[in-house]
Amino acid sequence: MRGVALDILTARPWPALLGLPWRLPLEEWPEEILAALPRGISRHIVRFTRVEGRVVAIKEIKADIARREYEMLRMLRRLDQPVVEPIGVVDGRVDLAGEPLDACLLTRHLQFSLPYRAMMSQTLREDTAARLLDALAALLVRLHLVGFWWGDVSLSNTLFKRNAGAFAAYLVDAETGELHESLSDGQRAHDLDIARVNIAGELMDLQAGGFVDERVDPVDVSARILERYDLLWREVTAVERFDASKLFKVDDRIRRLNDLGFDVDELSMTTDIDGTTVQIQPKVVDAGHHSRRLLRLTGLDVEDNQARRLLNDLDSYQAATDRQNDDEEQVAHDWLTACYEPVVRAVPPQLRGKLEPAEIFHEVLENRWYLSEAADQDVSLAEATQDYVHRILPEKPDEAAVVGVDTMSIPVRAHEQLGG
């Protein structure tokens, strides 16, 4: 490496990167240092290598474009978007003859993910293609919600992970992307038009190679992304109006969003002469986000799905009490005192070994929703708790929540659970 003045931009120091053969064009890197992973189609040379046990994707690209994409990926990561993790940019490369080489953008390989072509080891069925497009449509909605215009939407610029019979999509190429305060309808429509054309072409290419059934119409299949996107966009952005006596419909809206893979980060309610207008703005968050947020706000340390359910109720409480502008931690404390702790205290000592407190609260909320739907009006939390404790909880089997500990001795109050 003597005589080579490399410029390495990384979020954190990683000296091991200096040991890679930066004086060689990427396509000439020796096989023994490369990781044998499937690669998608790219206009640039892309290779995978292992660095200290971690797999790194390296893309050879012009320096200004590499730095811009690196910063864009970092911003999207800060916004909790499903994108690959940027590691850094290596610039100042020259070959053995002293001629300049393009810079390299480094990203961390997304474990268990595959480019769409690598998933086609056998003929792609139409329903599989539809699930891939569903995942891509959901990704596009998430990105558009935070103001990201992709500019090159395609299967090739996406990585997919299998997800219980469906697929989860991740953005892998942000080279053409732009981040705005918000997107206009025209910008969103432009992205969708790019997606439709690109995907139809990719499917035609696969069909020519024998990977897509000849009976599948690539144009019709690619049009599915427009339909799926429109459905998701309407669901996550629509303003819903209903009578003030039917606030259980807020929970119904949140359930629908959760079923579509979206979590509710903000919930605002406004009252007018005709009743109540509910507007829900969803935000996609990373694994463990709910647990961390709930722990920070309330001290409750629970599983992530439980935390999401409790936070949904906390958000509903904040909106119903018209305290959206109040300090979040103070509102959380009041919710803990007014909602969570009374439910947990209502459980008789002989039934406390049935379920953990957070799970009991979750089931009480479920019971409240069912009771409200059946009555077509709001049922109070106290009524739902009483019904649950007398009718449902006694039928539950005892659950050994803590191995070797008598669950009957678990304290009731939230601050006692934390040793406070």
Question: 315: buried, middle or exposed (CB in 10 Å: 19+, 13-18, 0-12)?
Answer: buried
Contacts of 384 (CB under 8 A, 6+ apart): 364, 365, 367, 368, 371
Contacts of 307-313 with C-beta under 8 Å, sequence gap 24+, read 307/358, 308/258, 308/263, 309/362, 309/365, 310/340, 310/358, 310/361, 310/362, 312/251, 312/254, 312/264, 313/339, 313/365
For residues 111, 116, 122, 123, the Cα torsion angle rounded to the nearest 10 degrees is: 160
Domains of the chain, with CATH numbers?
7-109 (3.30.200), 114-235 (1.10.510.10), 238-417 (no CATH)
Instruction: Yes or no: say if 274 and 299 are a contact pair by the CB < 8 Å rule.
Output: no
User: Would you give the distance in Å from CA 298 to the centre of its chain?
Assistant: 23
User: Would you give the distance in Å from CA 232 to the centre of its chain?
Assistant: 14
- Residue listed under structure tokens 């305290």: 323
Token duo for residue 185: 């309808």
Q: Give the number of other Cβ atoms within 10 Å of residue 380's Cβ.
A: 11
User: What is the chain's alpha carbon radius of gyration, rounded to the nearest angstrom?
Assistant: 26
Question: Any idea what DSSP says for residue 50?
Answer: E
Question: 143: buried, middle or exposed (CB in 10 Å: 19+, 13-18, 0-12)?
Answer: buried
List the pLDDT tens digit at each of the 420 positions of the chain. Answer: 444 578 888 877 788 888 899 999 999 999 888 876 655 556 788 898 988 878 899 999 999 999 999 999 999 998 888 899 999 999 999 999 999 999 999 999 887 777 877 765 455 566 677 778 888 998 999 899 899 999 999 988 998 876 545 677 899 999 999 999 999 999 999 999 999 999 999 888 888 888 777 888 889 888 988 998 998 888 888 777 777 677 787 778 777 777 776 666 656 666 655 555 555 554 544 445 677 788 889 999 887 678 888 998 998 898 888 887 788 889 999 999 999 999 999 999 988 878 888 889 999 999 999 999 999 998 999 999 999 999 999 988 765 333 333 333 333 433 333 333
Does pTM top 0.75 for this prediction? no
Nearest to 145 by CA among 133, 157, 137, 156: 137
Degrees, nearest 5: CA angle 313-317-318: 120
